[in-house]
Structure 1
């Protein structure tokens, strides 16, 4: 059987922005030794039910990324207020701080230190994952029906369980580097 696996791995713009916001949120209640990137020194007024709203927004954005097979850059630019309205208290101070967070993420992500570095950090591991998965599919006689999309995020998502769905999965850099062997079998389950 010819290997027909097509696998696209992309650092997802909008999901990484949500991780960025999540880390700022948690940093407000952590000790300095536990801080995650990015450090934002100001206290931010997040919605009281931030965690629930975050999960809902994550699921909505993930669904849209899956349906449109995109990296979410259009959502980030065209729907900038989606994140503010869903996750931050609606007042002028909060809007100002959100604008600073948005701009800070954009500058970082568009630089070589941001999105490019995140994607390049898994190049070798991605090739190994592809080879292992393709070999396993071939051994089992499974023919993929469409492209497997892997959205890469720079840090762990603490508020949402990263489920595997049909031909779509969100993985962290840590998953690629440390947990790669575990993910081969999980990815196999999403190809049906």
Structure 2
């Protein structure tokens, strides 16, 4: 008999992309988002190119994570820097900007206030308050009782505004806003996506 499992974690790759998205928004003097410090010198692409490049990089990273969550690790911004550099201008400014953004992101995300806090806060609500495992496992369509099935939940610290956040039926991307403010819809969104992909 197969079993259903849920794996949730806050990936470096997607949270870095949210970090860059928010830096871009903050640099345009829109609603301040974290990080809101001066990032104009990072050499991010101009708006019309940035949004399209961002969407492409996001889709590619979601695809890779959906195929194998182990592709994400604390060195991904180095091993996959060619992909992430697509968000920055060519030349020295973009090169230096990428390096600075990478170091700034790691200083936050690798600290106790970054990845660990996101995962602990999300896990507490999802598994204890919402009881996501029991609610999802009782409402999803089990395609094959002999096959192990896993739902992957990628946790991101803020909403994805420029990318496609739906992912695949077996991979849901959930922001802290989804968990804290929209929790009543979380289970139904995840199970509907799973069932659409499994029927």
TM-score of the aligned structures, taking structure 2 as reference length: 0.84
One of 135, 158, 164 as aligned partner of 1:155: 158
**Deviation at 1:135?**
3.3
On the 8 A contact 1:3/1:134 being kept in 2, the answer is: no
CA distance in 2: counterparts of 1:122 and 1:180, whole angstroms:
11
- Structure 2: state its 5+ residue gaps: none
Unpaired segments ≥5 residues, structure 1: none
Offset, 1:20: 0.3
CA gap 1:141/1:153 in 2 versus in 1, 3 angstroms: closer
Partner secondary structure for residue 133 of structure 2: helix
Aligned pair count reads 186
8 Å contact from structure 1 (residues 14, 71) kept in 2: no
TM alignment of 1:35-184, pairs within 5 A: 35-43=32-40, 44-48=42-46, 49-70=49-70, 72-73=72-73, 74-84=75-85, 86-127=86-127, 128-137=131-140, 145-184=148-187
Separation in 1 of the partners of 2:137 and 2:8? 15
Q: Scaled by the length of structure 1, what TM-score is found?
A: 0.87
Distance (whole Å) between structure 1 residues aligned to residue 13 and residue 71 of structure 2: 7
Contact 2:26 2:32 (C-alpha < 8 Å) held by counterparts: yes
Structure 1 runs of 4+ aligned residues shifted over 3 Å read 140-145
- Root-mean-square deviation (CA, aligned residues, Å) is 2.2
Q: Distance in 2 between matches of 1:117 and 1:87?
A: 27
Contact 2:58 2:164 (8 Å CA) reproduced: no
1:13 counterpart residue number: 12
